[in-house]
Amino acid sequence: MVVVNVGPLSVEGLWQRLYLLPYGRASVLFVVIAGIGMAFFVRARRTPKSRWRALIWRAAVLLTGGLLLQRTTEDVGVILPVYGVLFISVLVLQFLPPPVLLGAAAALAVVGPVLFISHGLDDVGQHLGPPARLGDPWPEIAHALVLSGRYPLVTWAVPFLVGMWAGHLDHTRATTVRRLIAWGGALAVLAQGASQLSRALLGERADQGYWRLLTGTAHGQMPLWLIGSIGGALFTVAVLLRWWPLLGRWARPLVMAGQMALTLYVLHVLVLAMLRPSEDITIATGALLSAALVTGCLVVAVLWRARASIGPLEWVLRASLLTGATRTRVPAAPVPHPEAQIKDQHP
């Protein structure tokens, strides 16, 4: 996330392309994980009343806070408002069985890009307007969030739905983890290959009209990009599950940063809004600034977590004004202990 938001995004050569591998993939990974976490949340909140109160409050915080944060910068597209809308959708999605969630994701992966081309792009393939900000007319905000923004709901609902489907899987089974690794990796590689082939065959037509549906440019909102980036996200999650017994003991600073994800996200956007890196920044400068930001985030997380059990914005997210109380921590995903081994469980 930091590497992508710092830049540069126009690079050449193998090593520079590897450096920018997160571009178009990091944000999808986060949305898939949000879907997985929401599946855990729905299971943990047994009563519908406790669910809708928490969901509405968190959606309101993310939507309003994200629109406000977007006023600080136009260089970084703030994704928080879309999270808010996705969280509200869980009021309905929580009643759908996993196969229906996956089927809805597959259908929207086709329909969503068509709607995006029809309503979100101009004749030269650019977004119709700037990102939605607090203070804009609500019809413009709604149009940007659903159809024409940098993170339009018609396409970004797809990784969220896949995440909710994946959240219903038994992640303690080695067979499940291996299948996610195999299928996720295969989808990521095949979609990327198909994208490169289609662009080579289409040439200049690749950026014109509905021909874009056959391309897979990062953040292009098209089916091949959605399939490849979601496959990569599932692959990443499964690999971490598979090797967590070895990685977990070394990853504590990263875990602490993950527990303060909202706080660190807002902090890094504000820092970049003040620094305003230029579009023609060199890759060396971008890498140096990214390393400094990542290091700073890790230091902040470790120091804060040494004194508090929850980040400041995470506290706001979990505090419900409807009940006047702070919600207790929802049980985490069934991730095996670092000393444990994932075992097959045959029926």
Residue 337 in any domain: the answer is: no
Residue 107 domain flag: yes
Indicate the number of domains in the chain.
1
Instruction: Name the band, by pLDDT with cuts 50, 70 and 90, for residue 160.
Output: very high
If you average pLDDT over residues 179-203, what whole number do you get?
92
- Whether residue 341 is contained in a domain is answered as no
Q: Is 8 left (phi over 0), alpha (psi -120 to 50) or beta?
A: beta
The predicted-structure confidence for 117-135, as pLDDT tens digits, reads as follows 887 666 556 666 678 899 8
Regarding predicted confidence, which is higher, 302 or 126? 302
CB 272 within 8 A of CB 5: yes
* pLDDT (0 to 100) of residue 183: 96
Asked whether residue 347 is assigned to any structural domain, the reply reads no
Structural domain of residue 314, as residue ranges?
2-326
Query: Per the domain annotation, does 90 fall within a domain?
Result: yes
Residue 299 included in any domain: yes
In a domain, 219, yes or no: yes
pLDDT digits (tens, 9 = 90+) for 48-103: 777 888 899 999 999 999 999 999 988 888 999 999 999 999 999 999 999 999 99
Residues 242-253 have pLDDT tens digits of 999 888 888 999
Cα(289)–Cα(267) distance, integer angstroms: 15
In a domain, 344, yes or no: no
Only one residue has tokens 């047994």, namely 46
For residue 272, give the nearest of 20, 76, 130 by alpha carbon: 76
Q: Is the pTM of this model over 0.85?
A: yes
